[in-house]
Structure 1
Amino acid sequence: MSEKRLPNILFIMADQHRADCLGAYGNTDIRTPHLDQLAADGVVYESHFCNAPVCTPSRYSTLTGLHPHQHLGWTNRCTIQPELGTYPKTLKRAGYTTAAIGKMHLTPTYQDVGFDRMELVEQNGDGRYEDDYHRYLQNLGLIDYVDLLDQVNEYRQQAPEHYWDSRGAMVSDLPEEHHSTAWIGRRGLAEIDKWGDGGNLLFLSFVKPHHPFDPPASWSEMYDPDALKLLPGWTESCLPRDLEKHTGFFPHEQLTEQQLRLCMSYYYATISHIDHYIGNIVELLKHKGLYDNTLILYTSDHGEYLGFHHLLLKQNYMYDPLVRVPLIVKYPGMSAAGERCAELTSGIDVTATLAAVAGEQPGPDMTGVDLTAPLAGRRYVFSENAKGEQYMVRSRSHKLILCKDDAKSLFFDLQRDPLEMTNLYADEAYRDMIAEHKAALHQMILFDAPAPVFLYEDAKLLEAPNVPSAGAQVPAFAGWVREKMNEALTREP
């Protein structure tokens, strides 16, 4: 296949974007006209779930097509095993030029995972002191003050009262043109402006709507907090089991409806801000005549409680608002435009799908489903957290949250209890169904998702007199063995 015939691929990832906070998913308050139009031109996957409720583990799953227990990236500070396959490596084999702009959340910050170039915007850990965006701000004499208050413990401990009262929902201290969303959007436009007819991959990864909820001025005025409808699942107080699980980044039990409404208005504003730049990018693709031949995929690494069970942000049980995320795919040639898919889909499916669009096979260890092929009615999807401390097994109608401390495990009948209020884990009437969900998890871990081979030949060696340099004696020793074998073989009758 020639380069000109290869479709372009634009993979857009948001951070902490729950599925029902998009017009295309039925939210009538939020304004996302460009993503809604993308949905009209593509396929909306209505039951899409991330593989982990934490940034880096989930992102590593979409990169590698592997569950966290396979790629072993359990926390926000971990490294992708160098020998693992990734979708940018797969696409490079197919002849693609590959670039990443925005948030990667890698350790080390610029780890080579298959992209030709990376221009980064990081938020957590050392990455923010090494990336392109914060060097850009430094050259302007600027810092992202609100983000630093929220993300760096040294400053959070000194945060003013307003930060705590607003739950980190504050107007950005940066002018719009220097906000991370604008920087990422502009860099994305510049990258696409260089595209030719085909064979280009851009991973465009926005930091928002991840907390702090800090839209820049003017965008911050887009939504009236009092006019918003609270999302399904808001309760007047926390459930005891949720408080026992985690008291919150901000104390959950102290969350008021007024604070939640402010958070919602700014959370929505950061999503609309992203939508604006996606609209600019789509307009450029159309102007260049590339829109029809470009696959555009929009998703998020995980969701957000935003009031569900009186919770905010994440760090609790894997309830649906946290693990159900948007997935919109506009396929080349506008195939399947306007369709909605109710089948269960998973973050690991992204890798297999991008490989298929490029005409390649996914790596042998990758277990995701190619979404361009007819879906065969997957029965379960899985999510994992904290090195096996918590697993989710989700079917169309039920959900098991299996905890290392079995006394905290949960089971829900989602047809009768879609808001996941009543725990049926100890209910004898559901014993067989719970066993089926557990069996599916065991099958996935032991058989359906075999662990990949880890080979890193440059690993540090033991320093001792008897240890040769890596590979140095292999040719000579192999030659000696070959000579001895030849002697032995000539003595054979």
Structure 2
Amino acid sequence: MALHFAEPHLPCRPSGRFATMYDPAAVPEWDGFRETFAGKPYIQRQQLYSWGIERFGWDDWAPIVARYYGVISQLDEAIGRVLAALETCGAAEDTVVIFTADHGDMCGSHRMMDKHYILYDDVVRVPLVIRLPDWRQGSETGRVCDRFVYNFLDLAPTLLELLNLPDADPGNLQGRSLVPLLKGGDGSAGGDWRDAVVSTYNGQQFGLYNQRMIRTERWKYIWNPTDIDEMYDLHADPAELDNRIGRWAHDAVVTELRRRLYEQLTADGDPLVGNEWMRRQLLEGAKLARQQP
């Protein structure tokens, strides 16, 4: 059974007590709110004008974020009712429960809204919680794994393995079963588990705009074929405010990430790397970028 909630999603209209559960005055700024767009792709600043929020300060965003929190709390209660129903009907011991989302929402981070033309962690890093039927035999607080996961690609082979249905695999699944990570807790049973993930974007209601991203534990490189690229040091700059592309000190890292991104996109059959001009951008560094020490 799949249960889909439309919330949380702008315009964020929580009901009843959830509408006033959080005081806007007590809502802290997002770490990424103080965005200047210096050295960032043009389209990011343009998005503010497209939405009509170019003059919004935190006083404008705080009530929106407060309602966003309220909607999340309302969702949390609704999911709690579902889990309680599983207990009541005796199905909890025979049910795999998976909670996840398709994308995040800027909701004021980087002064933006929604999810367009960007691959910040606010959008691409989403929750994934899995409860197995024998969950009561484990830790009361659960276990956390920080390995890289493709939510929708990995869930299909995971469910096939949990349900002991190997013959149901059509043979063309791109993901990997998460069972080794679920059994290992911290991912130590994952063996040669992936050390990077790739995300793609191809535009929404504002028009076509291609982006490809590769993210390791420390670095995030975003290929913007028609604008300046982005590269963030997630250790030093977790809010992704400082675009480090074009800095000589990071040339070797960028070259390696571009090569790895090209290889993964090629393996996936991504048509964006299916011609000489696009290959030159990634493999020969044929990209205009600011140069700094």
Query: What TM bracket, shorter-length normalisation?
Result: 0.7 to 0.9
Task: Output aligned runs, 1:56-75, within 5 Å.
Answer: none
- 1:383 equivalent in alignment to 2:199: yes
In structure 1, what is the Cα distance between the partners aligned to 2:40 and 2:109? 14
Task: Output aligned runs, 1:250-265, within 5 Å.
Answer: 250-265=51-66
User: Under a length normalisation based on structure 2, what TM-score does the superposition of the two structures give?
Assistant: 0.78
Instruction: Give yes or no for contact 1:243–1:252 (8 Å, CA) kept in 2.
Output: no
**Corresponding residue number in structure 2 for 1:474:** none
**Corresponding residue number in structure 2 for 1:356:** 161
Change (3 A) 1:445 1:242: closer
| Higher strand content, 1 or 2 | 1
Residue of 47, 52, 67 corresponding to 1:247: 47
Report the 3-state secondary structure (helix = DSSP H, G, I; strand = E; otherwise coil) of the residue aligned with 2:241.
coil
**Corresponding residue number in structure 2 for 1:439:** 259
- Summarize deviations over 1:194-245 as a string: whole Å, max 9, x none: xxxxxxxx11111011112111233211111111222221217555736543
In structure 2, what is the Cα distance between the partners aligned to 1:302 and 1:229? 22
Change (3 A) 1:309 1:215: same
**Corresponding residue number in structure 2 for 1:170:** none
Residue of 403, 409, 421 corresponding to 2:224: 403
- 1:371 equivalent in alignment to 2:178: yes
Select the structure with the greater relative contact order (CA < 8 A; seq sep ≥ 6).
1
In structure 2, what is the Cα distance between the partners aligned to 1:234 and 1:445? 32
In structure 2, what is the Cα distance between the partners aligned to 1:298 and 1:366? 21
In structure 2, what is the Cα distance between the partners aligned to 1:243 and 1:327? 32
1:306 offset after TM fit, Å? 2.2
Report the 3-state secondary structure (helix = DSSP H, G, I; strand = E; otherwise coil) of the residue aligned with 1:379.
coil
**Corresponding residue number in structure 2 for 1:277:** 78
User: Under a length normalisation based on structure 1, what TM-score does the superposition of the two structures give?
Assistant: 0.47
**Corresponding residue number in structure 2 for 1:226:** 25
Specify the code of the residue in structure 1 equivalent to 2:157.
Answer: A
Change (3 A) 1:224 1:386: same
1:323 offset after TM fit, Å? 0.7
Residue of 268, 272, 292 corresponding to 2:93: 292
In structure 2, what is the Cα distance between the partners aligned to 1:432 and 1:210? 39
Change (3 A) 1:255 1:242: farther
Instruction: Give yes or no for contact 1:380–1:440 (8 Å, CA) kept in 2.
Output: no
Specify the code of the residue in structure 1 equivalent to 2:47.
Answer: T
1:331 offset after TM fit, Å? 1.4
Report the 3-state secondary structure (helix = DSSP H, G, I; strand = E; otherwise coil) of the residue aligned with 1:401.
strand
Instruction: Give yes or no for contact 1:238–1:311 (8 Å, CA) kept in 2.
Output: no
Extract unaligned runs of 5+ from structure 1. 1-201, 452-493
Give the number of equivalent residue pairs.
248
**Corresponding residue number in structure 1 for 2:286:** none
In structure 1, what is the Cα distance between the partners aligned to 2:170 and 2:218? 31
In structure 2, what is the Cα distance between the partners aligned to 1:351 and 1:336? 24
Extract unaligned runs of 5+ from structure 2. 181-188, 204-208, 271-293
